[in-house]
Amino acid sequence: MSGKSRYGGFGSVNRHYATDIAADKSSRAAANTAAASDVAVQASWAQYVQNLVTEQIAEIRDGVIAGLREGISEQRDRLFDETNKFLRRESDSNSAKVERALADIRAAKAEMREAIRTELRAEMRAEIAERTALIKQPADGIPGPRGEKGEPGSLPMIEPYTAGRIYYRGNVVADQTGSYQAKRDTAQAPCPASEDWTCMARSGADGKDGRTIRSRGTYDAAKTYERLDIVMLNGSSFVAQRDDPGPCPGEHWQLFASAGKRGQQGQKGERGERGPAGPLAIVPRIARSEIDAEYNLHLDYTDGSHDTIPLRPAFEQFQMETGRT
C-alpha cells in the first residue's frame, strides 16, 4: 500500500501549512511595519485558519478512512483465500473418508450377502434332506406267477446287402464293413452310424503273415538275416531279434542255446599198443540242415552221416525268457 493512498492527506497539509506560515510572516511583517492591528483582518484570518484546519482535518480523516478500507479489503481477501484453501483441504479429506466409508460399506454388504447365501443353502439342504426322508422308498413286491413259455426265437438268415433294395424291419444283411439288422423299413445303405440299422458285428482288419523260427546254419557275416533266424556260432545258437540284426553276437541277437562247458579231465589211462596205420582221415562238413514240424534239427554231412538235434526245449526256453506266448 503506497503512502499516498493511505496517508495522502498529510502531504497536502504540509504544503498548506508551509504556505500559511509564509503568509503569516508576511502579514506580521506588514502589521509591524504598519504598526497597526486591524481587528477585522485578525478576525478574518482566524476564520481562514479555522476553515483551513477543518479542511485539513477532513482530508486527513478521508485519507485514514481510505487507508483503513484498503487494508481491511486486503485482510478480507487474504482471509477469504485462506478460508477457501482450508475448506478445500477439508473437502478432499472428507472425500477420502467418504470413499473409505463407502468401500467398508460395500465389503460389509458383500460379506453379509455371502453369509445370507450360505445360510440359505444350508437351510435348503436341510429342508431337502428332511423332505427326502419323508419319501417312501420303493420295495420289491411279491414275485408274480411264471409266464407261459414263448415260441423259440430265431435270427433271420443273413443275406448279402444289395444297393437300392428296400429292406424291412428285422432283415439281416452283411457287406464288407460288417453285419447289420434293420430297425425299420429302409432303403438306406447300412453303416455303423446309421439310425435305420443296428450293427451286429464289424469286419476286422486283415492281419499280417506270421513268422516262425528258421534255421540259417553257421553264421556268415556276409549274409542278410531277418527276425527269428537262428544261426550257429562257436558251438552256441543265436536267434535274431529284428531284421538286419547286425554282427553276431551283438545287441540284437538273443542267445538261444549255449555250448556246454568242457568237463574235468579224467585220469590218464595206461598206454595201449600201437595199432596199425589207418586210412587218411577226412573231416565231414554239413551238407544240409532242416527243422521239421516237431522242432528237430536234422543235419546231413558230406560223408553221408546224419545227426538229429531236438530244439523244442530250447524254443520253449527262448519263448519264456523273451515273454512271448
Q: Model confidence over 293-322: pLDDT tens digits? A: 778 888 888 888 888 888 888 877 777 777
pLDDT at 278 over 90: no
Q: Would you say domain 214-259+284-322 falls under CATH 2.10.10?
A: yes
pLDDT the model gives residue 229: 92
Residue 39: band (very low, low, confident or very high) from pLDDT cuts 50, 70, 90:
low
263 has a pLDDT exceeding 60: yes
Range with the poorest average pLDDT among 13-17, 35-39, 54-58, 96-100: 13-17
Mean pLDDT over residues 263-292, rounded?
76
Mean pLDDT of 13-40: 55
Report pLDDT for 76: 75
Q: Can you give the pLDDT at residue 8?
A: 44
**What is the reported pLDDT for 29?**
57
* pLDDT confidence band for 247 (50 / 70 / 90): very high
Cβ(308)–Cβ(288) below 8 Å: no
Of 11-25, 137-151, 263-277, 296-310, which range is least confident? 11-25
DSSP, collapsed to helix, strand or coil, labels residue 249 as coil
- pLDDT for position 11: 46
Residue 159 has pLDDT above 60, yes or no: yes
Set of cell numbers at residue 211 = 513268422
Mean pLDDT of the region 277-284:
68
203-246 pLDDT tens trace: 776 666 677 888 888 999 999 999 989 998 888 899 999 999 99
> Which cell numbers hold the place of 112?
453379509
Q: Among residues of the chain, what percentage have pLDDT more than 70?
A: 78
pLDDT at 177 over 90: no
In the sheet that holds 253-257, the strands lie side by side as: 214-218, 229-233, 236-240, 253-257
pLDDT at 13: 44
Q: Are 12 and 56 in contact (CB under 8 A)?
A: yes
The pLDDT score that the predictor gives to residue 112 is: 85
**2 band by pLDDT with thresholds 50, 70 and 90:** very low
Instruction: Return the CATH architecture of domain 158-202.
Output: Ribbon (2.10)
Q: Where are the domains of the chain?
A: 3-113, 158-202, 214-259+284-322
| pLDDT at 219 (0 to 100) | 92
Q: How far apart are CA 98 and CA 2, in angstroms?
A: 48
pLDDT, residue 203, reads 76
**Torsion angle in degrees (nearest 10) through CA of 25, 27, 32, 37:** -140
DSSP states along 297-321: EEEEETTS-EEEEE-HHHHHHHHHH
Q: Same CATH topology for 158-202 and 214-259+284-322?
A: yes
Q: Residue 203 contacts by C-beta under 8 Å, 6 or more apart in sequence?
A: 176, 177, 178
143 CB neighbour count, 10 Å cutoff: 6
CB atoms within 10 A of CB 245: 22
pLDDT tier at 4, thresholds 50, 70, 90: very low
pLDDT confidence of residue 246: 92
Give exposure, 187-215, as e/b (b: 16+ Cβ within 10 Å).
Answer: eeebeeeeebbeeeeeeeeeeeeeeebeb
